[in-house]
């Protein structure tokens, strides 16, 4: 004998399969979303002036006046905000968690040659969030600009210029392998620098100009920091397809559609009279409600499996099947709970459908389901914390490409599970009262 | 099989059911008649356990309250509003409902096949219910309540919107159920249906049972006199007193014993032509008891 829960859940899934429009929104719509966003993914990083500042976590191991000046120049850019970080490892994890665009590591000795175009410089480490490649390119431009301004600073500051020539003279004297002719030529050059320093007024006390472009020549050596270093062995540490970004959002759309469909089905049962037969049957009212929740969860899991199957065919290489399962279960549970809550938003099918879709669109809009969070203004990013869609997407991204560990999954999963529990509790209470 | 004692239910200021008691025996079809708002639906909801009475108690099958799942297992309910899933086929609807009542395997298949046959829907079994006619849906709604062989059946207006042929078939099915031992409680607006299949009829209004008896007894007690119209073929003998008035050669009168009165007139030498006797029915009983017609 089949448990009533399964009987009820199977019936609801059966009904969904017969509803072509409902099926379109649950299955076809998210696929279209995933593919469409994936195809336009390369153009995600436009030059939108309202785009939020890209936070760059700076690990300054040099702590010299020049390194601080460099960070300050970088921070002056309109679209970049710097933030000090204790070490590269912590910063790398924050970038992976989507809390910053990049980590910038300034090595010791940076200040000695910074802004001196002929000197060999230690390389700066730069690790960019793989999902924000276009912004990463913008950041590289800003770094060059800041380095260019360092050179201007050098030439405006006679002390610094003299210090550079003194250091160079000292290194020249210590190096016995340099031919005499080269040594004489370099002496002339250093003398010219001294003359330039003598002729340059000390502007250090004057107000420094802000903005302006640096020279076009490359003044900086950059070394890539792999933000996904230290992940499970054998896992490739980079985004492998454009679908990595678009499919998690598309999966959430599928789940949102599921939620909308099943929320409406509860009030539909009431209106059509079938709820009467269910309530007169030898089952508990909890079974009726849990059956809906189970059907919603199973359908959501089916959508996730379908999307991931399609994603795999397109090139998504899943990093952690275990974490994907965790993300899928937590998301399906969370949103099925929300479905329960949504089903009590109105007394008629039309009222629940209207209120439900308004809620879905709002959650998707602020949660990164329509526009990736990376391209939202800061206030919207703050608001996104209140959208379950954000946490769902983050959980899937964590399993698919962010290289999350179980500990990293705790926050999004806890939020999704908590939301599910609250949704079930409130929905149950209201629905049972309305029976 | 169905016992309700002193049931009362109030919604705000409205007393929907007021101290109602009833008892339906095994093999009996019990008709509950009343206009809209009389309290029939509230009564049924309390009898099937969907509504808890403010006072009184319900016992089904001599075992206990219908709020208990094991008691609801012996219960079959066909609500007035069709409670079917339009997107599913007739067979799928029945299979789902059978599973809810714990049927499975061969038993389920056998009972679904029986139900489809009983409802004469074998040929349409694999078509979505949305494509069924009103009569077909009503028959499916009825057999859905009978699938699990209930011993207590509640039928709320089972023939509403059904064509004459389907109605006859449905009424025969209900009678058959009772003959097989089911206790059937039926609500209806159609007096002729109640007269045809109900063993006893209760008249309900304003939440109270006004009368309960067999149809014949109710009519005898509350139906009043029969209306008689007869054509006069001869002159009325002098000194003969007629029981009613004459208008255009037609005699009209009312009587508890119309045929005896007509014979008496004949014995008095009055030649009668065509005559018509209109006996009282449940409608008249209802009118007499409530002061209004059933469909008011």
Q: Are B79 and A276 inside 8 Å of each other by CB?
A: yes
Q: Do A26 and A66 belong to one domain?
A: no
Residue A231 domain-assigned?
A: no
Cβ A265 vs Cβ A278: under 8 Å: no
Does residue A315 sit in the same domain as residue A214? no
Is A210 found in the same domain as A131? yes
Q: What is the pTM of this model?
A: 0.68
Contacts with B48 from chain A: Cβ below 8 Å: 280
Q: Does residue A45 sit within a domain?
A: no
The shortest CB-CB distance from B100 to any of A7, A14, A273 is to A7
| Nearest beta carbon to residue A1 from set B84, B96, B104 | B104
Which of A163, A192, A224 is where one domain is finished? Answer: A224
> Chain B closest CA to A85's CA: distance in Å?
59
Contact A412, A394 (CB under 8 A): yes
Strands B2-11 and A222-224: unpaired
Paired tokens of A412:
């999004």
Q: How does pLDDT run across A102-144, given as a tens digit for each residue?
A: 999 998 888 887 777 666 778 889 998 877 777 888 888 888 8
Q: Which of B83, B90, B138, B145 to mutate to test the interface with A (most CBs of A within 10 A)?
A: B83
> What sign does the dihedral B135-B137-B138-B144 (CA atoms) show?
positive
A196 belongs to a structural domain: yes
Q: Are residues A87 and A171 in the same domain?
A: yes
- Looking at the fold, whether A214 and A362 belong to one and the same domain comes out as no
Per DSSP, what are the bridge partners of residue B152? B75, B183
CA dist A330 and A297 (Å) reads 10
Residue A381 lies in a domain: yes
Residues A384 and A362 in one domain: yes
- Helix intervals (H) in A343-405: 349-367, 378-384, 388-397
Are A14 and B88 within 8 A, CB to CB?
Answer: yes
Same-domain status, A242 and A193: no
Q: Which residues of B touch A11 (CB under 8 A)?
A: 85, 88, 96
Going by C-alpha positions, the residue among A192, A60, A80, A76 that lies closest to residue A122 is: A60
- B74 and B118 Cβ atoms separated by less than 8 Å: no
Residue A46 domain flag: no
**Contact yes or no for B99 and A277 at CB 8 A:** no
Domain tally, chain A: 2
Host domain of residue A405: 4-40+236-434
* Closest-CA residue to A316 (of A235, A240, A399): A240
**Same domain (yes/no): A80, A189:** yes
C-alpha B296/C-alpha B109 separation (Å) is: 44
Flag if A15 and B99 touch (Cβ within 8 Å): no
Of the three residues A201, A224, A247, the one that is the final residue of a domain is A224
H helices of A88-228, in order, are 88-96, 110-113, 133-156, 158-174, 180-199
The answer to whether residues A251 and A394 belong to one domain is yes
- Residue A47 maps to a domain: no
pLDDT in tens, chain B (296 residues): 899 999 999 998 899 999 999 999 999 999 998 888 888 889 999 999 889 999 999 999 888 888 888 888 999 999 888 899 999 999 999 999 999 999 999 999 999 999 999 888 999 999 999 999 888 898 899 899 999 989 999 998 888 877 787 788 888 888 888 998 899 999 887 788 888 899 999 988 889 998 899 888 888 888 888 889 988 888 877 778 888 888 888 889 988 888 888 888 888 888 888 999 888 888 888 888 887 766 55
Do the interacting molecules here have an ipTM over 0.95?
no
Whether residue A72 is contained in a domain is answered as yes
Q: Which helix (H) or strand (E) holds B254?
A: strand B250-255
Nearest CA in chain A to B84: A274
Exposed e or buried b per residue across A407-426, where buried means at least 16 C-beta atoms within 10 angstroms of its C-beta:
ebbeebbebbbebbeebbee
- Nearest to A58, CA basis, from A43, A49, A68: A68
Residue of chain B nearest A435, judged by CA positions: B50
Taking contacts as CB-CB distances below 8 angstroms, the residues of chain A near B128 are: 18
Q: Are residues A178 and A290 in the same domain?
A: no
Q: Are A60 and A16 found together in one domain?
A: no
Look up the CATH number of the domain holding residue A98: 3.40.1710
Give the end of a domain, one of A224, A251, A283.
Answer: A224
Contact status, residue B77 vs residue B142, Cβ threshold 8 Å = no
Regarding whether A321 and A246 lie in a shared domain, the answer is: yes
CA of residue A186 relative to chain centroid, distance: 50
B contact test, residue of A1, A271, A282 with most B CBs within 10 A: A282
**A273 Cα to chain B: minimum distance (Å):** 5
CB pairs < 8 Å spanning A and B: 66
In a domain, A112, yes or no: yes
């Amino acid at each position: 004998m089949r448990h009533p829960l399964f009987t009820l859940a199977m019936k609801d899934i059966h009904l969904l399969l017969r509803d072509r429009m409902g099926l379109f929104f649950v299955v076809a719509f998210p696929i279209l979303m995933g593919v469409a966003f994936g195809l336009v993914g390369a153009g995600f990083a436009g030059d939108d002036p309202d785009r939020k500042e890209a936070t760059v976590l700076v690990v300054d191991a040099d702590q010299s006046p020049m390194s601080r000046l460099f960070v300050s120049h970088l921070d002056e850019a309109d679209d970049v905000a710097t933030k000090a970080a204790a070490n590269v490892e912590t910063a790398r994890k924050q970038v992976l968690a989507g809390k910053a665009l990049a980590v910038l590591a300034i090595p010791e000795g940076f200040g000695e040659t910074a802004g001196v175009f002929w000197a060999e410089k230690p390389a700066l480490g730069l690790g960019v969030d793989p999902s924000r490649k276009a912004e990463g390119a913008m950041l590289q431009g800003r770094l060059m600009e800041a380095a260019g301004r360092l050179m201007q600073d050098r030439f405006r500051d006679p002390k610094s210029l003299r210090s550079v020539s003194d250091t160079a003279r000292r290194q020249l004297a210590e190096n016995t392998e340099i031919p005499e002719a080269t040594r004489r030529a370099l002496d002339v050059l250093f003398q010219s620098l001294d003359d330039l320093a003598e002729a340059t007024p000390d502007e250090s006390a004057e107000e420094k100009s802000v903005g302006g472009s640096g020279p076009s020549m490359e003044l900086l050596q950059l070394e890539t920091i792999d933000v996904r270093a230290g992940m499970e062995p054998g896992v490739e540490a980079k985004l492998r397809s454009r679908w990595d970004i678009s499919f998690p959002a598309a999966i959430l759309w599928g789940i949102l559609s599921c939620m909308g469909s099943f929320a409406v089905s509860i009030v539909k049962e009431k209106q059509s009279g079938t709820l009467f037969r269910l309530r007169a049957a030898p089952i508990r009212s909890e079974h009726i409600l849990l059956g809906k929740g189970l059907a919603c969860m199973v359908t959501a899991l089916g959508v996730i499996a379908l999307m991931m199957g399609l994603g795999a065919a397109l090139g998504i290489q899943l990093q952690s099947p275990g974490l994907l399962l965790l993300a899928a279960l937590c998301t399906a549970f969370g949103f099925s709970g929300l479905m329960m809550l949504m089903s009590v938003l109105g007394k008629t099918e039309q009222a629940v459908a209207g209120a439900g879709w308004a809620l879905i669109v709002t959650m998707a809009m602020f949660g990164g389901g329509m526009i990736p969070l990376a391209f939202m203004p800061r206030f919207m990013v703050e608001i996104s914390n209140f959208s379950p869609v954000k946490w769902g997407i983050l959980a899937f991204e964590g399993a698919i490409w962010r290289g999350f560990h179980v500990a990293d999954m705790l926050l999004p999963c806890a939020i999704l599970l908590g939301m599910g529990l609250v949704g079930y509790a409130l929905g149950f209470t209201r629905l049972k009262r309305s029976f | 099989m169905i016992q309700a004692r002193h049931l009362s239910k109030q919604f705000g200021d409205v007393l929907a059911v007021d101290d109602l008691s009833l008892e339906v025996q095994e093999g009996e079809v019990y008709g509950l008649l009343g206009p809209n708002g009389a309290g029939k639906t509230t009564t049924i909801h309390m009898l099937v356990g969907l509504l808890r009475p403010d006072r009184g108690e319900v016992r089904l099958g001599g075992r206990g309250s219908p709020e208990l799942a094991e008691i609801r297992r012996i219960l079959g309910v066909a609500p007035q509003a069709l409670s079917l899933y339009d997107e599913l086929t007739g067979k799928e609807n029945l299979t789902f409902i059978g599973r809810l009542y714990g049927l499975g395997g061969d038993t389920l298949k056998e009972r679904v096949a029986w139900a489809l046959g009983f409802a004469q829907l074998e040929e349409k079994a694999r078509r979505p219910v949305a494509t069924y006619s009103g009569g077909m849906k009503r028959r499916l709604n009825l057999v859905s309540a009978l699938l699990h062989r209930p011993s207590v059946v509640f039928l709320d207006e089972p023939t509403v919107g059904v064509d004459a042929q389907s109605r006859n078939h449905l009424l025969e099915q209900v009678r058959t159920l009772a003959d097989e031992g089911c206790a059937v409680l039926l609500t209806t607006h159609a007096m002729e249906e109640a007269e045809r299949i109900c063993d006893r009829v209760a008249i309900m209004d304003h939440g109270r049972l006004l009368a309960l008896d067999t149809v014949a007894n109710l009519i005898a007690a509350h139906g009043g006199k029969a209306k008689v119209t007869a054509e006069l073929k001869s002159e009325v003998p002098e000194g003969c007193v007629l029981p009613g008035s004459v208008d255009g050669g037609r005699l009209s009168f009312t009587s508890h014993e119309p045929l005896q009165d007509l014979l008496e007139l004949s014995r008095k030498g009055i030649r009668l032509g065509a005559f018509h006797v209109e006996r009282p029915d449940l409608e008249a009983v209802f009118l007499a008891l409530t002061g209004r017609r059933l469909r008011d």
